[in-house]
Structure 1
Amino acid sequence: MTEPVHAFTLSGPEAPALPLVCDSPHSGTHYPDDFGHAVPRALLRRGEDTHVEALWCAAPAVGATLLAAHFPRTYIDANRTLDDLDPELLEGAWPEPLAPSEKSRLGFGLIWRRLNADMPIYARRLSVAEVQGRIAHYYRPYHAALAEAIERSVQRFGGVWHLNLHSMPNNAYERLQIQSPDPLADFVLGDRDGTTCEPAFVALVEQQLRARGYSVARNNPYKGVQLIAKIGQPAQNRHSLQVEIRRPVYMDESTREPNANFPAVQKDLTDVLHAIAAYLREGQGRQPL
């Protein structure tokens, strides 16, 4: 069953349920009327993980839950903590303590301040009230839906395996101000340096992707941020893995349209989901389901 709501779409299992929850927090393409951005929409769309929810759309068919945001990450980023907010973006004092991270310094905190070093998103400061409205109407509902799906899995199966799904720009190293001797991999698996997910599950996903001809890196340059840090508690049988796909693998970054490879990539990821489903059903390294 699919439940459309203002902030997200939640698609439940269409096959016997698995302890697998997938979420795409950055693929939203609905730009709220009160955004008030000062850059053209076409440029603002560079922040989208466009079509990621479609790449992984087979998740419900294998027994997983799939949650996809409708709102763009440049409006409010569901993969940040609520205190990761740049006070320089606000026209008034925030009522609670803030702890801006390195992401905020780069302009990519809870509320994005810029698209790159030379391109601010706003020609104004944001009021405290409008940021609080974004939190209340978009951020909190998304997090509540994800938390409910996670807890439902834990209560039913005694654990959960969570895939946090993203895409990354081809110039990711440049955007992150990182000098790298190696090209960006087709997929980057992030488990915050081995702390958020059981190693066997990460190895399974990596092996499945490599078997289909993709290059794969771990935690370079993306380790995972708020969502997997919160959800991933392997000692409690709560496993969370961030999966980033390089955008030119499946789409044209300038037009945001799927490229000729899209159907093949979508099929490959469907096959990966089936392999994950088999792994969970077989109960490798844990009690059978």
Structure 2
Amino acid sequence: MPSAFLPPHQPVQIVLPDSTAIPLVCDSPHSGTDYPADFGYAVPLADLRKSEDTHVQWLWNAVPTVGGTLVHATFPRSYIDVNRHERDIDLTMLADAWPGEVAPSERCITLGNGLVFSQTTARSPIYARRLTASEVAHRIESYWRPYRHALAHLLAGAAVRGPRWHLNLHSMPSNAYERLGRVAPGPLADVVLGDLNGSSCSAIFTEMVGRAFRSRGYTVAINDPYAGQDLLREFGDPARGHESLQIELNRALYLNEQTRELLPRAQDLRDDIAGVLQDIAAHIRGVTNSHA
């Protein structure tokens, strides 16, 4: 694959198309596993790792093969979550005054999953101290902002000649409903597509991606239990032809959720995703050719 245009130690890795480029940008914001030295967490690393979308960028490695660009974070979401708004801050985490505005989300308050996580997925406090405002500001400036700027730049470039497509890539724990404090209406789907309840992506594209997974034997749900977060709100605008779709994969399909090691069947899922990407690329070429 082509080299990323940022060096390996940077917070964002970008893999450019290795075939004729199409206006497709895929990003994995939560699969980073490089834990910064200044994190200062006070829980076992294994507990923190349960919030990772471990190996998601590996599962989607065929993105450049079909002409898309693959973006992924190198740092963990528990350090700072690039899929949260920069004002999604819990002031009770801080030892001193925050200089800007804050607007903590419900998940930030109830689950401790805001811009900077305060709790593990098991609801244990991550820190035995309060963070300073300068620590949080450093994480925003050195990690959150470079990732968001890189993704925005790539999506703007993809849309120069018309519509563009954005896949926001994730994995979900097999006990997702329990983790969210919800009663499961039935078994968790293999794949959950989130389009912010129709506001970040056209129904046509959401349905097309759903068919691509179903045709390969996977169960698919729409917006249940995840409809999407801030990256879809930022970049999805189907009225302008800006399609942003979140894709959640059930971790039980490919991952030992305790050890974070790949299961033997992970390669089958990876191969199926490569096929889904071929279907998506064909759809995109069909749409872009009609606009030519």
Normalised-by-shorter TM-score class:
over 0.9
**2:155 aligned to 147, 150, 153, which one?**
150
Q: 1:118 to 1:144 in 2, by over 3 A?
A: closer
| Superposed CA RMSD | 1.2
Matched, 1:40 2:44: yes
Residue among 128, 132, 137 paired with 1:132: 137
Divergent runs of 4+, >6 A: none
**1:287 pairs with 2:290:** yes
The answer to whether the aligner puts 1:73 opposite 2:80 as a matched pair is no
Deviations along 1:29-74, one digit per CA (max 9) or x if unpaired, are 0000000000011111001000000000000010001001000000
Contact 2:50–2:121 (8 Å) recurs in 1: no
| 1:225 matched to 2:229 | yes
Q: What are the within-5 Å matches in structure 2 for residues 140-179 of structure 1? A: 140-155=145-160, 157-179=161-183
C-alpha contact 1:281 1:288 (8 A) present in aligned 2? no
Distance 2:87 2:12 in 1: 22
Partner Cα separation in structure 2 for residue 280 and residue 184 of structure 1: 29
- From 204, 209, 214, give the equivalent of 1:205: 209
**Cα separation, partners in 2 of 1:283 and 1:42, compared to 1, 3 Å:** same
CA distance in 1, matches of 2:246, 2:179: 19
Name the SS for the 2:280 alignment partner: helix
Residues 7-26 of structure 1 mapped to structure 2, 5 A cutoff? 7-26=11-30
- The secondary structure found in structure 2 opposite 1:278 is helix
1:129-165 Cα shifts (integer Å, max 9, x gaps): 011001111100000110000000111x312100000
Compute the displacement of 1:116 (Å). Answer: 3.4
**Unpaired stretches in structure 1, ≥5 consecutive residues:** none
**How many residue pairs were aligned?**
287
- 1:52 match: 56
**CA displacement, residues 197-236 of structure 1 (integer Å, 9 cap, x when unaligned):** 1111111110011111111101011000000111000111
SS of equivalent to 1:270: helix
Q: Which residue of 2 aligns with 1:31?
A: 35
> Once the 2 structures are TM-superposed, how far is the Cα of residue 117 of structure 1 from its aligned partner?
5.4
Alignment match, 2:127:
122
Correspondent of 1:190 among 181, 189, 194: 194
Measured against aligned partners, the alpha-carbon deviations of 1:99-119 in whole angstroms (never above 9, x if no partner) come to: 100110111000001013541
Q: Does 1:274 align with 2:275?
A: no
Q: TM-score with structure 2 length normalisation? A: 0.96
TM-score, length-normalised on structure 1?
Answer: 0.97
Structure 2 unpaired stretches of 5+: none
Alpha-carbon distance change, 117 to 29 in structure 1, aligned in 2, over 3 angstroms:
closer
Give the whole-Å Cα distance in 2 for the aligned partners of 1:47 and 1:65.
Answer: 25
